[in-house]
Amino acid sequence: MVITLNTIEDVERLPSVLDIEEVSRLLLELIPLLQHSSLSPAQGADMIDELLFAQAYNETGITIEASHAVLAWLQTVYDPTDEAFIDACASNLANLTCPAAEAFIQQRLASSDNAFECQQLKEALAEIKVR
């Protein structure tokens, strides 16, 4: 049975463990829903996290297409002053598989004077480097 996201609320009804292909496909379905929702960026980043954490163990990570979609959304709503968003966003970034995610982190680190943002992004970058 193919699971689809028709509304934001459908995320809450997903199984707790999904294979990586399902997670990637569901992320691609989630991003347009987030773009047209009234959720805050922090809430949206938390929903992305929920999907990322539902993936069963794998060594490949989500697809490049899903990574680019998530990154594009994060860049659109990025708010370095919202600590809840930065916390969830850093977790999202650490799980992306596209090189552009690392480049975005590096760019933010070079231009930010926000200590919390820098610390969270450095931790995300360290996780990316481990993979």
Structure tokens at 75: 């860049």
Whole-prediction pTM value?
A: 0.93
Per-residue pLDDT tens over the stretch 22-62: 999 999 999 999 999 999 999 999 999 999 998 877 778 89
**Which H or E run contains 92?**
helix 83-94
Q: How far apart are CA 76 and CA 70, in angstroms?
A: 10
DSSP secondary structure of 65-85: HHHHHHHHHHHHH--TT-HHH
- State pLDDT tens for residues 76-87: 999 999 999 999
Q: Give the span between the Cα atoms of 120 and 104, in whole angstroms.
A: 13
Give the domain ranges of the chain: 14-130
